[in-house]
Structure 1
């Protein structure tokens, strides 16, 4: 039987055991999932697949899998992908912090920002080749030289043509016969030899032969070549001089082949020259030459310019700005375009703060605008600033881009 002192000790021991047991149970009950390694919580979460955050598009069904990057995969839990609609969701505060700007895809003409250099050249369509119509010899030249600027009708040289004298004598003899048919035929022969009606009329009035002819230039311009000298003999059809007209000139603009699609025949172009500051010369593209310059990788766009007063001289350099072609196109800001190397994307701005990448095909670009050939419709909104962060988040979240066909 326990005495009083032993009973007290026993009661104290029992109380201590109870307190320890109760305290341990309370502590165990309060232990958090983090204190036990989160194993109990993670075991209850549903795993959708395993993936590597660096390549979120790759999904694996084995926790021991390695991604294509050689990295250990981690689980993707179902509660990490709430159904918030297509794309990713960003609240208004975060959008403001990112400085996101939204732009609308709209139809309109693409403004041209193409400016290139060019060189003035002679208009090769305005070239006169002065020839001798019959054989003879040169009795006089008029002091011309290559490079001289002459007016239309200016004399080049005087030729004595024996054939003309013989034909005129036959004509006068036929006229005396009084036969109209023979006279008409003889007169026509004089014309075919190159005689003017005024010269034929003078022969009829005076009855004297005139085998002397003054060769004149039919156009005003610059003498490019002069192959006639006093005393020389010339043959029928021999070239005596070549004159290039300067009423109009060509401006040959060098267009980079990467921007050749922005230039077309008939397109307006304005040019400025250092020789005439503050003055603009307007013309139109008359031709795009078929061959590219292999050294500079450029195509030549030929622009025809009026040359009043002959101020535009071949060899001058000019700066050429092409006008827009006026064709309607679906346009978005160029800064909204994301080029990954494999494809081209834009970040769509959807309702309720949702965003989703969309694949597009881009055409021409100019003055901060890009032409969308496929992948977008007029009225759709795209992110013009901050889209790269959204694209990165969409990649990490495994959000697939809308394909070109428009499928979901």
Structure 2
């Protein structure tokens, strides 16, 4: 009996101890369903809160979104963004569930899905919560960049390029070996085949400058060297139309100034003597017959011998036959040449004197072959004599010679006519001539001289497209002005051209063209090897 009482007391003590331990730990077996229900109600309240995406858990422990249990799962990806996938549910080394990737979400950013799943895993520990918070921040930044890029509407993605700039592209979202997302290339950002991109840092260091293309009045100065010459229209030659003798000289030196009508030499000619006799005979015959026919014939004979009208009138009035004739100067000017001496016998047609008037002179300038196309009749010109550098003379081009006179210097003569009332411009003087080309021409589309790259084979300017993108474009040049050149074809008004550091960008463009040519060669070689049209991957 005592033994039974001892066993009863021992069982009661054990029961009391077990009950005390449960009360002390806060856990009671019968209350466990109520606690689970309370936790389930708390989770449901969180899932119903606005703006909170909560995913239920199925019996496998994997997260599934409400109402989407029938969606097709393509694969499971690493929750930390590493390039690791699994065809079945899986956990990583930290115990985090791999995130399912659905067929209708394959184009979405992995960070977004990772964010949703990590937000649902409330049962993770403190270390896992901190990592989820960092991943959540990265997902938000990615969402903001996507929203900012799509603010103007849906943008077409052409392909995805390697984030490290390697020559590798993908038609679908992809990660590289370091887990970095490939960068989408949109249709409105894609570079043309002939567009080159230069980093902004290199642009700043190189001092690249641009200027908008506009219309300008192209006026420039074409320079030439000329000489003062006689106006050929004022040169006179003194000659006789009959044989005779020079009995006396009144102008006996070169350079002597003479006036029109002033006697130059005394001339005896038997032919003039006979013509004067015929005139006297016809005058006496007219007094008997009253006919002027013979008189008019005799007068015309004297005129044919270039006898001055003053001598004919003298014979008619005096009825005498003078033996010699004082030959008058035909024009006012300076004697350029003298080819006669006193007492000399001369024949009809011999040049005795040459007289030139210097009241009006020519300046004949030599213009280079490269500039002659812009100099025309009417082009304003400034003539500066080297003897009088502070007294410029303004004139216009009156004639462009139709031939090149100097084959060694490859120049074309151009004539400017200038008045010379004071006679300071002497024939033979050197003069510097400045032609003002295009001063009266209309405005044209022009670019700075520094923006033109002339390789000899073609002429190119660089068009700035913004964000470090430049396009080499071939152009056709027209007239040149001061620091600007006309563009006939290739560039439109309003576009921007590069005006400095053009050779840096041009070298980048040539490098890109060489790489593209190398890629084409590799592709053709690959196609020739496999015979299936599959070449090397296209380089960006």
TM-score under structure 1 length normalisation: 0.72
CA contact (8 A) 1:154 1:217 kept: yes
Query: Which residue in 2 is equivalent to 1:376?
Result: 491
Question: Matched residue of 2:283: which SS?
Answer: helix
CA contact (8 A) 1:114 1:366 kept: no
Q: How does 1:113-128 map to 2 (within 5 A)?
A: 113-128=221-236
Query: Which residue in 2 is equivalent to 1:39?
Result: none
CA contact (8 A) 1:120 1:249 kept: yes
Query: Which residue in 1 is equivalent to 2:406?
Result: 293
Query: Which residue in 2 is equivalent to 1:254?
Result: 366
Greater shift, 385-394 or 152-161, is seen at 385-394
Counterpart CA distance in 2 for 1:301 and 1:144 is 36
Query: Which residue in 2 is equivalent to 1:103?
Result: 211
Instruction: Work out whether 1:391 is the aligned partner of 2:503.
Output: no
Counterpart CA distance in 1 for 2:292 and 2:263 is 35
Query: Deviations for 1:348-382, whole angstroms, at most 9, x for unmatched residues?
Result: 23467753221112234332111223212333332
Query: Which residue in 2 is equivalent to 1:330?
Result: 445
- Kindly state the Cα deviation for residue 253 of structure 1 after the two structures are TM-superposed: 1.6
Query: Which residue in 1 is equivalent to 2:422?
Result: 309
CA contact (8 A) 2:256 2:335 kept: yes
Query: Which residue in 2 is equivalent to 1:69?
Result: none
Structure 2, unpaired ranges of 5+: 1-91, 95-158, 171-181, 517-540
Structure with higher RCO (Cα < 8 A, 6+ apart): 1
Question: Matched residue of 1:291: which SS?
Answer: coil
Counterpart CA distance in 1 for 2:309 and 2:237 is 22
Query: Which residue in 1 is equivalent to 2:346?
Result: 234
Structure 1, unpaired ranges of 5+: 1-23, 27-45, 54-73, 401-408
- Kindly state the Cα deviation for residue 262 of structure 1 after the two structures are TM-superposed: 2.5
Query: Deviations for 1:9-37, whole angstroms, at most 9, x for unmatched residues?
Result: xxxxxxxxxxxxxxx967xxxxxxxxxxx
Query: Deviations for 1:65-102, whole angstroms, at most 9, x for unmatched residues?
Result: xxxxxxxxx94546689341443567988766654433
Match of 1:182 among 294, 302, 325: 294
CA contact (8 A) 1:131 1:240 kept: yes
CA contact (8 A) 1:284 1:303 kept: yes
Query: Which residue in 2 is equivalent to 1:82?
Result: 185
Q: How does 1:198-213 map to 2 (within 5 A)?
A: 198-213=310-325
Larger Rg over CA atoms: 2
Counterpart CA distance in 2 for 1:388 and 1:397 is 14
- Give the structure with the higher percent helix: 2
CA contact (8 A) 1:116 1:320 kept: yes
- Kindly state the Cα deviation for residue 320 of structure 1 after the two structures are TM-superposed: 0.9
Query: Which residue in 1 is equivalent to 2:432?
Result: 319
Match of 1:366 among 481, 490, 495: 481
CA contact (8 A) 2:382 2:434 kept: yes
CA contact (8 A) 2:363 2:415 kept: yes
- Kindly state the Cα deviation for residue 278 of structure 1 after the two structures are TM-superposed: 1.5
Query: Which residue in 1 is equivalent to 2:471?
Result: 356
- Kindly state the Cα deviation for residue 338 of structure 1 after the two structures are TM-superposed: 1.6
Counterpart CA distance in 1 for 2:497 and 2:344 is 79
- Give the structure with the higher percent strand: 1
Query: Deviations for 1:166-201, whole angstroms, at most 9, x for unmatched residues?
Result: 222221221222222222222222222223333222
The Cα RMSD (Å) is 3.2
Query: Which residue in 2 is equivalent to 1:244?
Result: 356
Query: Which residue in 2 is equivalent to 1:146?
Result: 254
Question: Matched residue of 2:210: which SS?
Answer: strand
Q: How does 1:55-94 map to 2 (within 5 A)?
A: 75=167, 77=169, 82-83=185-186, 84-85=189-190, 86=192, 87-88=195-196
Match of 1:274 among 383, 386, 407: 386
Counterpart CA distance in 2 for 1:144 and 1:369 is 59
TM-score under structure 2 length normalisation: 0.55
